[in-house]
Structure 1
Amino acid sequence: MSRRHVPAVLGLMAGALVAVPAPAAHAAPVEVRCSVPDLLAAINAANSSPGPDTLRLAHKCTYKLTAADPVNPGNGLPVITSEITIDGQGATIKRDDRGNDVPKFRIIFVGPTGNLTLTRTTISGGFAADCPAFPDPPGLACGGGISNTGTMKVTRSKITGNTSKSDVFAQGGGIDNPGTGSLSETEVTGNHVIYSGSDLGGGAAGAAIANDGPLTVTDCELTGNTATVTKDTQSFAFGAGIISFAETTVENTLVSKNRSFAPGGFARAAVSNGIPAPGRMTITGGAIKDNTSDAPHGFAQGGGIANNALMTVSGVKISENRAVAEKGTARGGGVRVGPFGTLDLTDSRIIANSVKAPGGTAQGGGIDNPDGGTLTAKRNEVRHNTVTAKDGTAQGGGLYHASGATGLGTTTLEENTITHNRAGDGGGIFKASGVLALNGDTVRDNQPNNCSPAGAVQGCTG
């Protein structure tokens, strides 16, 4: 990124003309030939030189990395320690994994003093073998494609086919961001985060992106990423699209066709908040669609969104997402609010989401607030969501609400339209317990009824 200079200023002071010296000339971009040694040398030189540097890669070249950086073997490229812009011009930097002897390493690590701008570049084939920001306990894996502990700006790029895998805890298959980051007009697709251990309670979080520092995602696509955990370890696969542990802003972004899979464990939504934290996750515009959380004999908690901290969602289409748990518990096909979650949901469309739990319990086809969370929903359209559980329990086609173990859960509705949803009981709304109030909402044409149990929701009939 080029250093900004204050323009020369001319002014009159006491009748005299005062001139401000002109800024120093910008360094010319370094043209990097289509050669891995040249790329490594250029990054090392940029790290060593004062001021910002721009590296312009060869047009549409593929830089195939066959060895890890000798100084920091968890990475393919030298650690970014200064202010560097990499203009890929359509180039690809990838780990060449065709041979079994190629070691596992991520592609890029931005160190705490680093400031990377990455544009028009594809990052592919990275495989995280360590976790630079969280080295303890050993065995963690973070950021298969990129790990940023400094400052990072990614624009008009593609992060694809990267992996973070660990038998302890893995996060950020495509990108792990404990630093300050932003992405715009970028595809993060086909990345994987995998917990491969045998201990109980492991985790795989953020197949596309895991965020532990302030992050903004604008006009991006997070598609086709997967989070998986070892069968029957009661482990957590969550945030196949993006997991937030800190302040996160997502604007006009498509999150689609991502999958969290946790047989005998916990599968949580494509867009997830992690442990309760002061940072808020804000999602504005865009769409969250066709994502799946699948936990046979376990717990599927949210297909599209799962919130267990602070979250604001406005103007988002949340559609065709699925929470599935054969002989388990599935909740919140579109949106789930956890026990510590506070969600403000406005002006959004929650359409055609589904919850399925054959032989188990299925609740909340569109929206689910079952465990003591706080939900405020205004001017949303909730329709054509379904809840099914052959030989099991199916409740709350549009919305399921319960106060949870704490007895503190509340759902406040205002001017929402809840129509044409379906469940075994409470086709529109099922209120098991707690506080749920209607205020100018339309609840009609749901099957087999609008609200259940009879009389539980004041002002709702049929």
Structure 2
Amino acid sequence: MNESNAILRAPRASRVRAAAGRSVTVLAGLGALVGGLAVASPAHAVTPVPCSATALTAAINAANANAGGTVTLTPGCVYDFLQPPAPGAGAALPTITSPITVNGNGATIQRDPSAPLFRLLDIGDHGRLTAGVLTLKGGHTAPLSSGQDAGGAVLVETGGALYGSGLTVTHNAATEGGGIMNAAGATATLNASTVSDNTAQNSGSGVGGGISNNGTLTLTASRLQNNQADFAGGGFDQDSGTSSIDGTVISGNTADYGGGIDHDGGPVTVTASSVDNNRGTAADATGAGGGIWNDAPLTISASAITHNQASDPTGSAGGIANESGATLVLKVSSISANTAGGQAGGLYNSDAGTTATLYLSSVTGNTSGTGPGGVFNSATVHNTFSVIQGNTPSNCKGSLNSVPGCVN
């Protein structure tokens, strides 16, 4: 599955941390010593940035000019942007080119619904944004325009870094990375954050409704939910780079391929997470991947792939599509209660060189229109103490190649 190149995206090769007081003898002189000390003045209260887009723009400009700084927002303020800071600029705020901390205090940065199209934040080379308790809403890049079609809310450029905690990234849109685009050579780390209701637009090229990654991504204790991609990776898309997803819920996302996750290049690890209630809508008998579409190294540990759908009557791979020479390792995890209109409600494993390794895992209670309902295999499956049972209309019967440890 090839897609058109988007800004800052690596080309797709395929369907891609003085001792304590030593003696009581000092006590006798302690009172005299304290009496001679000056009492420290109270710390000055931090003055928040006034609740206006102009004031916030000036604060970011000042921080950049001072080679970094801390910006504290007015609690609960909605910083509403009607236009970028300069004609032709692609973001609501000036490009971040230094280490800046934004204390969000529950404020919102948004593009006004009546405004022209632009993203909210651009983190440039050597820029580092640390942001917390902040909502980013309504960013919308110009579709397929050079330099402006990636990262609806945030674009992290090569050499830039985003560190977010308690962020809400919602109702943004772009061709790639409806919520966040993390480019090759960039870093994004999100903790206890929510990326929801974002869209990657344009049929055949819209990828990464929530997040698109080609750099280094760490996602911890977060939620990717109700995002949509017009082509691939409703919740998350990776063409290259490295991702670690831990303790995260990926739910309610939709795309043609890889409703929850579309993974086309570079290693991804998913740990103690759930991929649940996502939909792959492609009319593709060779695998839509309701939960996950994978053709690169993917390791899933202590996680659940459940209630996902390949919703088209001919679509296969309700849970996971593992194809095109990919390597899937499933450890102490479950693929259950997924459905497909075509084959393999659970796992669709196909193409020369493709390998799926199941270790202490289960594929149970999946359903498909055509057998097998559990695992379809036309490549290689390794099974170590894993259970494949209770799938409809069959567990593995109908596969071209045998599945070790699977009966019927």
C-alpha separation in 2, matches of 1:430 and 1:189: 37
C-alpha separation in 1, matches of 2:95 and 2:242: 30
1:72 Cα offset (Å)? 7.2
Note the alpha carbon deviations across 1:240-276, whole angstroms, 9 max, x for none.
1111101111111111111112xxxx433421211xx
1:443 Cα offset (Å)? 1.2
User: 1:270 corresponds to which letter in structure 2?
Assistant: G
Contact 2:103 2:131 in 1 (8 A): no
Q: 1:161 to 1:322 in 2, by over 3 A?
A: same
Note the alpha carbon deviations across 1:386-432, whole angstroms, 9 max, x for none.
111xxxxx111211111x2xx2111111221111111111111111x
Note the alpha carbon deviations across 1:297-329, whole angstroms, 9 max, x for none.
xxx321111212211111111111111125886
Q: Aligned with 2:201: secondary structure?
A: strand
C-alpha separation in 2, matches of 1:369 and 1:81: 40
Alignment of 1:401 onto 2:349? yes
1:331 corresponds to: 288
Q: 1:190 to 1:459 in 2, by over 3 A?
A: same
C-alpha separation in 1, matches of 2:220 and 2:192: 6
1:69 corresponds to: 85
Alignment of 1:379 onto 2:338? no
Match for 1:238 among 180, 188, 207?
Answer: 207
User: 1:184 corresponds to which letter in structure 2?
Assistant: S
1:37 Cα offset (Å)? 4.5
Equivalences for 1:85-124 in 2 at 5 Å? Answer: 85-98=101-114, 103-113=116-126
Alignment of 1:32 onto 2:49? yes
Contact 1:328 1:357 in 2 (8 A): no
User: 2:276 corresponds to which letter in structure 1?
Assistant: S
Q: 1:186 to 1:456 in 2, by over 3 A?
A: same
When the two structures are aligned, how many residues end up with a matched partner?
A: 359
C-alpha separation in 2, matches of 1:430 and 1:73: 50
Note the alpha carbon deviations across 1:280-299, whole angstroms, 9 max, x for none.
21111121111111xxxxxx
1:182 corresponds to: 163
Structure showing greater relative contact order (alpha-carbon pairs closer than 8 Å, 6 or more residues apart)? 2
1:352 corresponds to: 307
2:406 corresponds to: 460
C-alpha separation in 1, matches of 2:54 and 2:271: 47
User: 2:233 corresponds to which letter in structure 1?
Assistant: R
1:220 corresponds to: 193
Equivalences for 1:241-390 in 2 at 5 Å? Answer: 241-261=210-230, 266-274=231-239, 277=240, 279-293=241-255, 300-309=256-265, 310-326=267-283, 330-338=287-295, 341-358=296-313, 361-388=314-341
User: What TM-score do the two structures reach when normalised by structure 1?
Assistant: 0.70
Q: 1:395 to 1:258 in 2, by over 3 A?
A: same
Stretches (4+) displaced over 6 A:
25-28
Q: Which runs of 5+ in 2 are unaligned?
A: 1-17, 19-41
C-alpha separation in 2, matches of 1:168 and 1:329: 32
Note the alpha carbon deviations across 1:351-379, whole angstroms, 9 max, x for none.
11111223xx4221112113221111121
Q: 1:153 to 1:54 in 2, by over 3 A?
A: closer
1:347 Cα offset (Å)? 1.3
The answer to which structure has the higher strand fraction is: 1
Q: Which runs of 5+ in 1 are unaligned?
A: 1-6, 8-24, 114-149, 194-203, 294-299, 389-393
2:172 corresponds to: 191
Q: 1:28 to 1:168 in 2, by over 3 A?
A: same
Equivalences for 1:122-141 in 2 at 5 Å? Answer: none
C-alpha separation in 2, matches of 1:36 and 1:305: 35
User: 2:308 corresponds to which letter in structure 1?
Assistant: N
Q: Aligned with 1:238: secondary structure?
A: coil
C-alpha separation in 2, matches of 1:64 and 1:457: 56
Q: Aligned with 1:437: secondary structure?
A: strand
C-alpha separation in 1, matches of 2:57 and 2:374: 59
Contact 1:29 1:53 in 2 (8 A): no
Q: 1:217 to 1:280 in 2, by over 3 A?
A: same
Over the residues paired in the alignment, what is the CA RMSD in angstroms? 2.8
- Taking every aligned residue pair, what percent have the same amino acid on both sides? 32
